[in-house]
Structure 1
């Protein structure tokens, strides 16, 4: 009677040991992780204990060629997960991928692969054979030559011939040879394993309806993937459906189970949590949560969130670097959502409230709240653009210059992105913090203000097609032409007429020259006259950008003498 508690205790201890070893192995470099597993006294239970997602990333980190021994020790469910992840493109089976993975498993454990294909994955095996071979059954009095060229047989009854596959642009010339080599060995081993079963599979494969077979394979694959958060793309895209902060607060709360400290737990996927990095509200809130049970459930939930994002984006990832980008995306929108839900309280209170929100609301709903903040910027940009002065004048977005064009380009696409301008090595990236949202919103405010201000004027916008016109050189050129006494229009200013105007801009000597205050005032008065608004109103709407424009002119041309002006290097004015 005392044996059952003792057995349970030993089981719990063994599971904890396996969990600790998995965590240690996943923290090692790939080559050391492989050696660590192989050198285990009992490597098979350790390999079987890996969640399928972690095993998938582990063998890709190590390299498929070096992971043959691990593949031989993997469980059937781990094999099935590999096939579910690798052999599909949308709702179609990739036959070369099936060949590749079956070849790997043939090298890892040929006898087990044959058993698995003959009994565990019969539907996939028959569909794969239908697409790759023709089957003919010879009658007892039929001459084999009557069947045609290219047929081979194992028993002089069932004859097979390889089908010609259509060429693929991404394949090399050796694909067909590899396929025939594998299939010849596979069919030979299947015949040797159980000849009656071999004949059944060949006969059934010749009579399947391929569209129905592939659809059923896809349905079953989606059921298995959905259990791990990989929903079909048309369903997973719901992760991008926004939720308002007030609406989330009235939604049902999730239930967190509080297991006993020594309770047996299912293996938790560690890879997504292992690449969590950076200082953001989500990671700070996680750091304040105690309890291995709660953290384990949150890890599982976070892995499911990352999987749903991958499904929605129809993205296949195979290494930590690619996974890290998905994790950063999830963390970023989680942090934005948490900030929106905490109403910008003090940092200490915000972190505490964020931790409470993580424990009380599903992570995917907090993600949707954060993504909604980015979508709101996108919708605002689209509403403005439809009625904008820019569009009414049929001007391109490039009219707003590099920075503003970059921000608008990130907002006017299907899924909004943050214009990073290569600050972190990329021109665009996902929004990662509420600071990104506020920075983009501030720039959008300036664009809308400038567009509204220019819409109050009747300034011409027709310009020569051989010149790059942006709002800065458009505005400065129109102002300069009027100051010089030239006819209004977006035309190049003759250099001999521009030099006296250029000399009058400056005060000071040498490289310390600055634009005179009277010049700034004259420009503001000119723009005020064109818009019909008082000076202070123009300054309130666009003052910061206009001041930045004059600082840029000072920086570029302050040290330049008027005799050294070259129209090719004066982008702020259109010069002939």
Structure 2
């Protein structure tokens, strides 16, 4: 975006009221977001208007140590949400990580650390201090001069003594206890008594209960609830869920997920036409909730900005896929669907379709022809192996052209399924790989025992290196050399003599003639040609520069098996 347009946009944003600005901030790059906040005289009000999810995402994108100005402006709820995600691993709080974040809050300055200490769940504080210090109390019936020798070294009041379990954070822990002592001595006494006497398992269970409740208040479910997004959905469930919904007007609206909309998608086009602010807020809340469910269900690290972005982008892609599938890409019908149906149901509809494609390929890999290959899925040649590996991933992706295309040097990239065309492409890839099994069966009948005498200096050294393309091209080479279609390894010694017979056009014709002879079914013949075309193209690209009198070095040829 041109600099003058960016400047004009930011000038407009600078004039917005805090609540209005908060809804626009997540569309900006994180560093620019922070700059826009801290330069305003009402920065505290702007941060207060941010939803806790948006605050957390902003901290992650900026980076923990660069976010101190934001921490200094945070509300207690925002701090708690950040700590709930950063400190906890499943049902356990991580004491060292908690100290790291509390130290950042201390460095941020202001009264935020004191505010958090006074408002945090007591059970959590006690659980943390039980992990941070060893505490004891001065005995009543022993002289203090004698008692000091057996007590921990630090004390403030001569009654409670402690020693830090984390020497590198000794100053911080002392500061925390001193702050509590000077602010509320009664609270200090209760804390130290609990650190000494309270049951750790009971405290941690209570702290975890409050922790989970807070996360659920911010639309972050537990793992098993999150898995609901991967349950298939029937058409009748859509009809049952067309109920009115209301956003809570008193709470900030999370906008981090909807801010990542891909502008070319149907979902983005429909959202851009929505004039009802209430509906837009509802979609923001639903989208944030869905992105959080993806993060939890896919077990992505919540403290990783890139993982958080992937979760939101996957959720958006699947919602768009569900919306296009259900509306037929009709924008008016799509708008009605967004008003009447939950985004999660659109996600589940899309997920079911993607899962069918993945399931078909899994069946081929686990019990189909790929399971018979020594190399397994690596029996597929490069282009098809890459496509299959992406389709078999936990979140399948597909290779797609990007805006600008080859004209601007932008290469295709793997992306989430987001349109019915992507589904068709994914299904076609599986069809091609299925048909490749016919080729494997045909060429295997003429293979014998490949790999037992492979030349160890070649590119194909073991049975695990043998791809279907290598088998087919080796058989084609043998047919041109001896007149017999056989996938037996070629002699590496004879390579300079036979190479003139294996020029790209000749190999291409031999392979395609074999396909025509062997596969009478027109559709399967076509799919076989689709599989083999990139292999033959690659062969042409690498072999064409060489002449019959100047063959490539045998050690560098990846298209054939060679015998030792």
Q: CA deviation at 1:184?
A: 0.8
Residue aligning to 2:10: none
Aligned with 1:570 (options 546, 557, 563)? 557
Shift of 1:203: 0.4
Cα contact 1:333–1:431 (8 A) shared by 2 = yes
Question: Quick one: which of 377, 396, 401 aligns to 1:416?
Answer: 396
Deviation for aligned residue 1:437: 2.6
Indicate the SS of the match to 2:140. coil
1:366-418 superposed Cα distances (whole Å, 9 cap, x missing partner): 11111112111111112233432332354432121112222222233444343
* Structural mapping, 1:327-476, within 5 Å: 327-342=312-327, 345=328, 347=329, 350-418=330-398, 429-455=415-441, 458-460=445-447, 462-464=449-451, 466=456, 467=460, 468-476=465-473
**Measured at CA, do residues 80 and 425 of structure 1 come closer, stay the same or move farther in structure 2, by a change above 3 Å?**
farther
SS in 1 for 2:560: coil
CA shift, 1:19, in A, is: 1.8
Residues 125-164 of structure 1 mapped to structure 2, 5 A cutoff: 125-144=125-144, 145-146=146-147, 148=150, 150-163=152-165
1:180 aligns with 170
Which stretches in structure 1 are left out of the alignment for 5+ residues? Answer: 1-15, 164-175, 507-512
CA distance in 2: counterparts of 1:372 and 1:57, whole angstroms = 29
How far apart, CA to CA, are the structure 2 residues paired with 1:154 and 1:190? 11
Aligned partner of 1:99 in structure 2 is 99
Q: CA deviation at 1:279?
A: 0.9
| Matching of residues 228-307 of structure 1 within 5 Å | 228-244=218-234, 246-257=235-246, 266-307=251-292
Cα distance in 2, alignment partners of residues 243 and 59 from structure 1: 36
State whether residues 398 and 470 of structure 1, in contact with CA within 8 Å, keep that contact through their aligned partners in structure 2. Answer: yes
Match of residue 22 from structure 2 = 22
Structure 2 equivalent of residue 484 of structure 1: 481
1:153-232, aligned counterparts within 5 Å?
Answer: 153-163=155-165, 176-232=166-222
**Which residue of structure 2 lines up, in the alignment, with residue 5 of structure 1?**
none
Deviations 1:485-514 (A, max 9, x none): 3887543323676677654566xxxxxx84
TM norm structure 2: 0.82
Q: 1:298, CA displacement in angstroms?
A: 1.0
Q: Which has the larger radius of gyration?
A: 1
TM-score calculated relative to the size of structure 1: 0.80
Task: State the number of aligned residues.
Answer: 528
1:545 maps to 2:542:
no
Residue 493 of structure 1 is matched in structure 2 by 490
Aligned-partner Cα distance in 2 for 1:517–1:488: 14
| Superposed displacement of residue 116, structure 1 | 4.2
* Structure 2: tracts of 5 or more residues without a match: 1-15
Residue 309 in 1 paired to residue 289 in 2? no
Report the CA distance shift for 1:37/1:110 in structure 2 as closer, same or farther (over 3 A): closer
1:427/1:178 CA distance change after superposition, 3 Å: farther
Q: 1:469 offset after TM fit, Å?
A: 1.9
Whole-angstrom CA distance in 2 between matches of 1:489 and 1:544: 22
**CA RMSD, Structure 1 to Structure 2 (Å):** 3.5
Q: 1:488 to 1:133 in 2, by over 3 A?
A: same
